[in-house]
Structure 1
Amino acid sequence: MLAELVAPAGALTAVVGLFVATQAYRGYRRHDSRTMRALAVGIVCLTAVPFLVQYVLAPVVGLTDAETLLGVVSAYVVGLAAILHSLLSP
């Protein structure tokens, strides 16, 4: 029963993450703030990209479990690096 909730919970995380990233992107456009753009990219990479890799790309392309995990972990690393960049930028 719990396994049936994993994909919907991931989808909800992706949708909420895209909403938050959209707000950050709007801040970038409004104030021409590169830090907000980096924050938006980081949030997308942390929330939406892993869901897309695991539930869309992997079944369509036929990725192995190791390839899927590599894609998800890579998205996490890129997302965290983008957020770190946004926090350290002047």
Structure 2
Amino acid sequence: MQTLQIDLFALPIRYVTLFAAFFVTIVMGLFIVFQAYHGYRRNESRRMLFLAVGLAFVTVVPPVISLGTASFGFDVDIYVFYLPLGTAISQIVGLSFIIYSLALRSGS
């Protein structure tokens, strides 16, 4: 079995830029999610837990889905329909968690 080798210097700059943007987005999203989760652990607040989960679905999951899909090189239907649908569903789920965290009573 051959290992996959990618020469980063042979890739067009637009791909490297896109990967860098996805990477920065994922790292920043994980940082925000970690801070919200740390707030949950510190204060034992369910609101912060739901906020952390919602932020993960909004900030981390869509770029991971996009990056994962791009690395496999699927046909056009995946990019035109399923990828936008998957990221939209992830954002809907994440926003639902965030709204739920805001609607919880402060004693929870």
Per the normalisation by structure 1, the TM-score is 0.84
Aligned residues: 90
State which structure, 1 or 2, has the greater radius of gyration over its C-alpha atoms. Answer: 2
User: Does 1:73 pair with 2:88?
Assistant: yes
Q: Which runs of 5 or more structure 1 residues have no equivalent in the other structure?
A: none
Q: CA deviation at 1:59?
A: 3.7
Q: In structure 2, what is the Cα distance between the partners aligned to 1:19 and 1:78?
A: 20
Q: CA deviation at 1:8?
A: 1.9
Match of 1:85 in 2: 100
Match of 1:54 in 2: 66
Q: Which runs of 5 or more structure 2 residues have no equivalent in the other structure?
A: 1-11
Say which is worse superposed, 70-79 or 10-19, in terms of deviation: 10-19
Q: In structure 2, what is the Cα distance between the partners aligned to 1:58 and 1:88?
A: 37
Q: In structure 1, what is the Cα distance between the partners aligned to 2:59 and 2:97?
A: 13
Match of 2:40 in 1: 28
Report percent identity of matched pairs: 36
Q: CA deviation at 1:27?
A: 1.0
Say which is worse superposed, 75-84 or 58-67, in terms of deviation: 58-67
Structure with greater helix percent: 1
Q: In structure 2, what is the Cα distance between the partners aligned to 1:70 and 1:61?
A: 17
- What is the root-mean-square deviation of aligned Cα atoms in Å? 2.2
Per the normalisation by structure 2, the TM-score is 0.72
| 8 Å contact from structure 2 (residues 22, 67) kept in 1 | no
